[in-house]
Chains A and B, each alone.
Chain A
Amino acid sequence: MNILLKNTDIGDIFIQDGIIKSIGSEISSADKIYDCTALTVLPSFLDLHTHLREPGFCAKEDIDSGLKAAAAGGYFGVLAMPNTSPAVDNEFVLEYVKNKADKAGYAKMFPIAAITQGLEGDKLTEMFKLSETGAVAFSNDGNPVFQSQTMLLAMKYAKTKNLLIISHSEDKSLSAGGVMNEGKVSCKLGLSGITRAAEEVGIARDIILAETTGCRLHIAHVSTKGAVQLVRDAKKRGVNVSAETCPHYFAGTEELVGKYNTFAKVNPPLREESDRLAVIEGLKDGTIDAIATDHAPHTLEEKNREFDVAPFGISGLETAFSLSYTVLVKSGIITLKKLAELMSINPCKISGIDMPEIKIGNKANITLCDLNKKFKINPDNFFSKGKNTPFKGKEVYGKVMMTFNDGILKFYNGEIL
């Protein structure tokens, strides 16, 4: 089986049995020819932060629908968070989700295992065994390790085998009861605010513990100006730390909450314009290494509730590229090459996942996008079960048209293959 991608931005690409055989040479025949005029070739994306919800919460998403959404979003793979039910805190659940994902096959799933058993308390998971079974990182995500002593031990233990800790850093005693950013909007709406200090105190602690132990630490979803500065300072000191942010933190602010729009309820919360600009600055200067989605699908029933009781989270896999391209590249803030680093190359480096470069002799792991395509975000077209996005109706540029994963075309022109 050979495939010819005609007229991409880097010329014709000829793929034989999944391997790139030629780039830029004129070839006229193949088993399958795709007209790629106006399409730009990028390395396929890797998402460091996805919730696939299976097992336990399959009404929100399952591995099948989540990986379809990933392929449609231009991703060859996603790192899946362990806060399922049961949690991914032992090798059996890990094997289960891996098998499910292999069977689905639309995109790869790289499991993240829990730091502590049941995502609670102070008992560490069997990290070595879990790592051997396929866990690429360890995180308690939304239930961050509360006891500093436990986190210290987790980092020491992880450091033994150079394992990666991903931290949703948050001091829960500061954010307790909060449902949106604390500030003028929460004040006016009478909603309990989440102070930036909750995130920043958490990050400061985790950075200090990483500095103490030498453990590799990746900070999830940076959302505040102060948090960007904490990571910047830590990197300057040589701490082994990397960081991600999500499209909603640079494409939107707390104003999206409007009059209690629960689709804009997310943790960490959408912040103010000054934070949004600081996050963009962090992306520009390399303080923030990656754009992750924190894809957090929920059902409409769960979201159509009183704001206080609606769950946190935004469905993000199928909007990440368009939002990032529109806000960061189209506007001239960063180059397309830089965006590829943020969505593909750096996430691979951070998680230690091998991804073939786009060159002759390598497997095709490429995403083709129509950068000039202007369209409105429409969750009805999502493959994800989670239609919960505050960006519904937003006009964006840059549509993912084709996703190749290990040489196989998984998504083409709105269809999962």
Chain B
Amino acid sequence: MILESKDLLGIDELKKEEIENILSYADKMLACVEGRKNLDNLKGKCVATLFYENSTRTRVSFQNAALFLGAHTVALEEAGSSILKGESLVDTVSTLKSLNVDAVAIRHPMSGAVHYAARNTDIPIINAGDGAHEHPTQALLDALTVKRRFGGFKGLKLVIAGDIKHSRVARSNILLFNKMGADVTVCAPLSLMPDGIEDMGCRVVTDLDQALKGANAVMALRIQFERQKSGFVPSLKEYSAFYRIGTEQLSKADKNAILMHPAPINRGIEITGSAADCDRSVICSQITSGLAVRMAVLDILVRRI
């Protein structure tokens, strides 16, 4: 079996070999995706997306992944479902199970909510982002993108810049790239840097130019507008002046460096439009990799292969 656990809750739970095996399987899926070849691995199966937070990209990615594997899908969103009537997460999951759903991808604003769900059901739970904790399929798709470009991870320098404190993408990527032998640097003003981040195995550099020096992969993170309202940064203008990644900042990185972003992007805030559209930007291929990774994960967990 590729995965020991019935669930995919976080990168933290994965062994290096498991990550490698998911990535190899996702690589095969990516070939199918690029060749527009649909599969029937999950024919007759049903995958649910249970999203307690707004998201189009990730939800559609999971749904398409299921559809391209021959499964059908159910989408539950907060509005219009019994969630609004006060049903607990665990009760909602058992309802889905009773409706013959074979796996549930959950996005939830609370860290660890997916663990709570997974502990209380025997169907596979896939973490599609929980609070500020993890977003494992995002890290896996970032890894697939990097692996495709560079062939491997050993000695590679990854720089993650932006709102590290509230970012599940940052946490999953720090864990994953660490496990794979890359070198991770995080960059943000200290008000957006969580205490104890170094213990996850990354370097903290608060100056963007310095952080970018020699980087092979640069990951810009979105800064949410509400962060400024809550006082984490004095203004988005000041934030952009010191932490926005443009082509000029990118020139500090290695000459073959790639620019990544989990999207959606705020052009002009954490990333300039010209950087997002430049030939180093792999933002679009990240999204395609995401489809492949989610196909791989769904197939692995639902069929227990």
Q: Which A residues have a C-beta under 8 Å from some C-beta of B?
A: 182-193, 195, 259-260, 304-309
Q: How many interface contacts (CB-CB < 8 Å) are there between A and B?
A: 72
Q: A306-B89, A307-B116 are in contact. Are A187 and B195 (CB under 8 A)?
A: yes
In the complex, the answer to whether B194 meets A307 with C-beta atoms within 8 Å is no
Instruction: Provide the bound-state CA to CA distance between A195 and B115, in Å.
Output: 25
Instruction: Provide the bound-state CA to CA distance between A171 and B115, in Å.
Output: 31
Interface positions, chain B 120-134, Cβ under 8 Å from A, are: 120, 130-134
Contacts of B120 in A (CB 8 A): 304
B120 — nearest CB in chain A belongs to which residue? A304
In the complex, the answer to whether B111 meets A307 with C-beta atoms within 8 Å is yes
B192 within 8 A of partner (CB)? no
Contacts of B131 in A (CB 8 A): 190-191, 308
13 pairs of residues in contact across A and B, judged by CB atoms under 8 Å: A183-B195, A183-B196, A186-B194, A186-B196, A187-B171, A189-B112, A189-B133, A191-B131, A192-B132, A259-B115, A304-B116, A305-B116, A308-B112
Beta-carbon contacts of B185-200 to A below 8 Å, as 1s and 0s?
0000000001111011
Instruction: Provide the bound-state CA to CA distance between A188 and B175, in Å.
Output: 9
Task: With both chains docked as a complex, state the minimum distance between the C-beta of B199 and any C-beta of chain A, in angstroms.
Answer: 4
Contacts of A188 in B (CB 8 A): 12, 171, 196, 199-200
Instruction: Provide the bound-state CA to CA distance between A189 and B108, in Å.
Output: 14
Known: A186-B195, A187-B200, A308-B110. 9 other contacts (CB 8 A): A190-B133, A191-B132, A259-B112, A260-B112, A306-B89, A306-B108, A306-B116, A307-B112, A307-B116
Q: A191-B131, A260-B116 are in contact. Are A306 and B196 (CB under 8 A)?
A: no
Contacts of B222 in A (CB 8 A): none
In the complex, the answer to whether A190 meets B196 with C-beta atoms within 8 Å is no
Q: Which 10 A-B pairs have the closest CB atoms?
A: A190-B133, A184-B196, A260-B112, A190-B132, A184-B199, A187-B196, A190-B111, A187-B194, A308-B110, A306-B110
Instruction: Provide the bound-state CA to CA distance between A182 and B132, in Å.
Output: 14
Instruction: Provide the bound-state CA to CA distance between A356 and B18, in Å.
Output: 65
Contacts of A189 in B (CB 8 A): 111-112, 133
B298 within 8 A of partner (CB)? no
In the complex, the answer to whether B197 meets A190 with C-beta atoms within 8 Å is no
Task: With both chains docked as a complex, state the minimum distance between the C-beta of B163 and any C-beta of chain A, in angstroms.
Answer: 13
Residue A308 contacts which of B111, B115, B195 (CB distance < 8 angstroms)? B111
Residue A306 contacts which of B112, B132, B134, B200 (CB distance < 8 angstroms)? B112
In the complex, the answer to whether B113 meets A306 with C-beta atoms within 8 Å is yes
Instruction: Provide the bound-state CA to CA distance between A305 and B88, in Å.
Output: 8
Contacts of B200 in A (CB 8 A): 184, 187-188
Contacts of A182 in B (CB 8 A): 195-196
In the complex, the answer to whether A309 meets B196 with C-beta atoms within 8 Å is no
Q: Which B residues have a C-beta under 8 Å from some C-beta of A?
A: 12, 88-90, 108, 110-113, 115-116, 120, 130-134, 168, 171, 194-197, 199-200
Task: With both chains docked as a complex, state the minimum distance between the C-beta of A275 and any C-beta of chain B, in angstroms.
Answer: 14
Contacts of B113 in A (CB 8 A): 306, 308
Instruction: Provide the bound-state CA to CA distance between A283 and B194, in Å.
Output: 32
Q: Which residue among A182, A185, A306 has the maximum number of chain B CB atoms within 10 Å of its CB?
A: A306
B172 — nearest CB in chain A belongs to which residue? A190
Task: With both chains docked as a complex, state the minimum distance between the C-beta of A6 and any C-beta of chain B, in angstroms.
Answer: 49
Residue B194 contacts which of A193, A259, A308, A309 (CB distance < 8 angstroms)? A193
Instruction: Provide the bound-state CA to CA distance between A182 and B196, in Å.
Output: 8
B10 — nearest CB in chain A belongs to which residue? A259
Contacts of A304 in B (CB 8 A): 90, 116, 120
Instruction: Provide the bound-state CA to CA distance between A195 and B195, in Å.
Output: 9
Task: With both chains docked as a complex, state the minimum distance between the C-beta of B175 and any C-beta of chain A, in angstroms.
Answer: 8
Task: With both chains docked as a complex, state the minimum distance between the C-beta of A27 and any C-beta of chain B, in angstroms.
Answer: 57
Contacts of A184 in B (CB 8 A): 195-196, 199-200
Contacts of A193 in B (CB 8 A): 194-195
Residue A190 contacts which of B88, B89, B168, B195 (CB distance < 8 angstroms)? B168
Contacts of A192 in B (CB 8 A): 132
Q: A306-B113, A307-B110, A308-B110 are in contact. Are A187 and B168 (CB under 8 A)?
A: no
Contacts of A309 in B (CB 8 A): 110
A305 — nearest CB in chain B belongs to which residue? B116
Instruction: Provide the bound-state CA to CA distance between A193 and B195, in Å.
Output: 9
Residue A187 contacts which of B110, B116, B197 (CB distance < 8 angstroms)? B197
Contacts of B90 in A (CB 8 A): 304
In the complex, the answer to whether A191 meets B195 with C-beta atoms within 8 Å is no
Task: With both chains docked as a complex, state the minimum distance between the C-beta of A303 and any C-beta of chain B, in angstroms.
Answer: 11
Contacts of B199 in A (CB 8 A): 184, 187-188
Task: With both chains docked as a complex, state the minimum distance between the C-beta of B201 and any C-beta of chain A, in angstroms.
Answer: 10
A259 — nearest CB in chain B belongs to which residue? B115
A191 — nearest CB in chain B belongs to which residue? B111
Instruction: Provide the bound-state CA to CA distance between A195 and B196, in Å.
Output: 12
Contacts of A305 in B (CB 8 A): 88, 116
Instruction: Provide the bound-state CA to CA distance between A193 and B194, in Å.
Output: 9
Instruction: Provide the bound-state CA to CA distance between A306 and B109, in Å.
Output: 10
Instruction: Provide the bound-state CA to CA distance between A190 and B194, in Å.
Output: 9
Contacts of A259 in B (CB 8 A): 112, 115
